[in-house]
A and B are shown apart, each in its own frame.
Chain A
Amino acid sequence: MVGVILQSAVSIQIGIVVAYLLLALGVGLVAYRLTDRTAEDYYLASRTLGTVVLLFTTFATLLSAFTFFAGPNIAYGNGPEWILVMGLMDGVIFGVLWYVVGYKQWLVGKAHGYVTLGEMLGDRFGSSLLRGLVAAVSLFWLFPYVMLQQVGAGGALSALTEGAVPYWAGAGLITAFMIVYVVLSGMRGVAWTDTLQGLFMLTMVWAAFVWVLSAVGGIGPATDALASSNPEFLSLGGGLYSPQWMLSQAIGIAFGVAMFPQVNQRFFVADSEKVLKRTMALWPIVVLLLFVPAFMLGAWAAGLGVPMPESGNILPGLLAEYTPTWFAALVVAGAMAAMMSSSDSMLLSGSSYFTRDLYRPFVNADASDRREDLIARIGVAVFATLAFLASLYNPPSLFVIGDTAFGGFAQLAPPVIVALYWSRTTRWGMFAGILGSQLFYTVTTFTPPAGETTTVLGIVVPGVIETFGGWSSSVVGMAVGLVLVVGVSLVTDAAVAERPSVLAGPTDD
């Protein structure tokens, strides 16, 4: 009997996953029919995304897997204050960056036809080398991050089916589907599937919230249980949560998000200013609607004494306890599909950084639009396949890079923002700011804690300080980058090829 029930649960779960994959494929095919064979249309859907699509595609791309898994886990283990970090990070700071970085890039991109961040900066500073550097730095952090998504999706599919689908097959299946629909449909298909995904996530989170609360007698009893089991969770701060830590996380991640290729590229895709405006105003509301229920469920699970399941994620455990199998399966499958929606956008952006900023300037400058479009699609397949192969070996070094990717991207923000707003920024200032902050961040992140040593390839590496009075090396690295880009720009002259007017705008005097 139990075997039969398990069997049917597994088939429901597999059914839901397969249904999602087919839906994504269908959307991809429709989008393919509407897509011109040019790079601008493939990467940016010819800059025609509307409010709802732009909002959800940015949102689903970014936070999907985190909302369902990592976020509730943090609340379960340390208390729900992470909600405040998310509010500051994604609701407010990112909203402001949406304007400060996003709107400005949108204006510049629209006037000059840029598709990537590197392209914009390379043109402004008259330097293909800078263009290539921005792309290379971005790909260095992006590749392991994509690999982590595949590891997560493969693991989730394997856990979902009780091992009936082995890890490699799960990760491989998802990679193959992603390649097919991303290669076919480009930005338009990705944006449409993301929108479906985002609406689905919101619905699921609220359904889970209502379901669990009605099962335990409402908000009052749930919080009372938490107050008696973990009273420290309800008080603001304490444990992991220090002011420096909360600010470091919020600032480091918000700026990192703005520089993540798949998010930064979305700054170029809005249809009109109206779309950017509406999206900005909706941002805090979406953050509120998604994270308060998801993370409170994680915190309440601690009070309700739900044990952490073997999969290491508390939300599926909580749902298994209080909701019927089909519902828990729906949420878990949705979360898995959500990981795909993060990866597909990253694949697309990764491929565009490669073709636009590395292939075209350094390999084949005369590539036609059609050829570039073809290379872009091949690039997606190659990028996804390599990340899949890497995920089979799970190299620990790649894991560490993927885990610290937000900080790595955040280091790009100060030079980019200074360049966007200060016309005296010089090429040398940009190189110093980017290379200096990347060096600082990688050294402080990848070396062991101060006082310890580690051996890499027979060389003994001494430990370097990692936190600075409670502040993370990501935030301190951003300050280092800021000082370098401003300082070096002040003492160097602009090169002849530099064109400040590219960013300063047509009417600047």
Chain B
Amino acid sequence: MPNRTTSFAWGTILFVLMALAIPWFLWDSSAVAAGLPVWLWWHIGWMVLASAVFAVFTRRGWGVWMGGWSA
């Protein structure tokens, strides 16, 4: 049964995952690396990261926020 701390931690992690899916700090940058814009490389890396985080979530965080269903 997840406690308050894990619940908050997962909320924060998932929020950061959403907040930085678009690399705001590269706004207006048109730098190209290995044939693709750098922001596109960020996207590729971020999707792989998101998948890994989701995989960990399904193992460690699954059941969080489900209230009476999590028992």
Binding site for B on A (CB under 8 A): 80-81, 83-85, 87-88, 91-93, 95-96, 99-100, 103-104, 107-108, 218-220, 222-223, 227, 231-232, 234-238, 243, 246-247, 273, 277-278, 280-285, 287-288, 292, 296, 421, 501, 504-509
Smallest CB-CB separation from A83: which chain B residue?
B43
Q: Are B67 and A284 in contact (CB under 8 A)?
A: no
Q: Are B67 and A84 in contact (CB under 8 A)?
A: no
Q: Are A231 and B30 in contact (CB under 8 A)?
A: yes
Binding site for A on B (CB under 8 A): 14, 17-18, 21-24, 26-30, 32, 34-37, 39-40, 43-44, 46-48, 50-51, 54-55, 57-59, 62, 65-71
Q: Given contacts A91-B50, A92-B21, could you give 5 more A-B pairs where the C-beta distance is less than 8 Å?
A: A87-B21, A91-B21, A219-B34, A283-B51, A504-B68
Contacts of B67 in A (CB 8 A): 421, 504-505, 508
- Interface residues of B, dominant DSSP: helix
Complex-state Cα separation, A501 to B43, whole angstroms: 41
Q: Are B17 and A92 in contact (CB under 8 A)?
A: yes
Complex-state Cα separation, A219 to B40, whole angstroms: 13
Q: Are A93 and B39 in contact (CB under 8 A)?
A: no
Q: Are B14 and A223 in contact (CB under 8 A)?
A: no
Would you give the shortest CB distance from B10 to chain A, in whole angstroms?
Answer: 10
- Chain B CB count within 10 A is highest, among A222, A280, A281, A283, for A281
Q: Are B68 and A280 in contact (CB under 8 A)?
A: no
6 CB contacts below 8 A, A to B, read A87-B21, A92-B18, A278-B58, A284-B51, A288-B44, A506-B68
Q: Are A223 and B54 in contact (CB under 8 A)?
A: no
Complex-state Cα separation, A508 to B47, whole angstroms: 36
Would you give the shortest CB distance from A485 to chain B, in whole angstroms?
Answer: 18
Q: Contacts A96-B18, A235-B29, A505-B66 known; A219 to B58 CB distance under 8 Å? A: no
Complex-state Cα separation, A95 to B21, whole angstroms: 12
Top 9 A-B pairs, shortest CB-CB distance = A505-B68, A508-B68, A219-B35, A235-B30, A277-B58, A505-B69, A88-B21, A281-B55, A284-B50
Would you give the shortest CB distance from B62 to chain A, in whole angstroms?
Answer: 7
Would you give the shortest CB distance from A218 to chain B, in whole angstroms?
Answer: 7
Contacts of B71 in A (CB 8 A): 506-507
Q: Are B24 and A243 in contact (CB under 8 A)?
A: yes
Complex-state Cα separation, A96 to B54, whole angstroms: 9
Contacts of A246 in B (CB 8 A): 22
Q: Contacts A222-B35, A234-B32, A235-B28 known; A288 to B66 CB distance under 8 Å? A: no
Q: Contacts A88-B18, A284-B50, A506-B69 known; A238 to B34 CB distance under 8 Å? A: no
Q: Contacts A95-B50, A238-B28, A281-B51 known; A219 to B21 CB distance under 8 Å? A: no
Complex-state Cα separation, A223 to B34, whole angstroms: 10
Smallest CB-CB separation from B39: which chain A residue?
A236
Q: Are B47 and A284 in contact (CB under 8 A)?
A: yes
